[in-house]
Amino acid sequence: MKRLALLLIISLWSSANPSQAQDFSLQLGAAFEPSATPRASGDLTFLIGSGQTRSYTTINARPIGSVLSYAFRTGVERDFIKTKRATVALCGQAGIATSAEATSGMVSGCASIIVPIRSGFAFVLSGEGNNAPIHGGDWEPRVSAGFRYDFKSAP
């Protein structure tokens, strides 16, 4: 577990560019997977960067019986279509999936609709496809929903 936390810290640190002021966002939500048992899991996502392209790192935890299954992914989110009312963004991630029985690499792709609610807050609805040998090696569909808060860093 300590190695996984260290991997997350390194990926977040390497994504930030210390020579420029960066925007930092935090997203908390739930994911629903029709092919998994149980069908729900929790998501925590860190986003670093401003403009159309952002570093996109996700931690996912799902209880399986009395054991937890985790996924740690990092990649990029990029705005595809942006209007006043919503933004459609695409993302791609790679990382690891682990449980008490096994650990493996995984890849993920998603499309998200980001709807601003209030200053700094947004509702995010995503459709995803995940592939990890630990989960059978097939592309698994998943829908996630959450709330994102943007912290503006000082220039």
DSSP for 79-130, please give it. Answer: EEEE-SS-EEEEEEEEEEEE-SS-EEEEEEEEEEEEEEEETTEEEEEEEEEE
pLDDT of residue 154: 42
| pLDDT over 50 at 155, yes or no | no
For 63, 69, 93, 100, the CA distances from 66, given in Å and listed in that order, are: 7, 10, 28, 10
Instruction: Give CA–CA dist 108/106, Å, rounded.
Output: 7
pTM here is 0.79
Q: pLDDT tens-digit profile of 70-98?
A: 889 999 999 999 999 999 999 999 999 88
Instruction: Give CA–CA dist 155/144, Å, rounded.
Output: 33
pLDDT of residue 64: 66
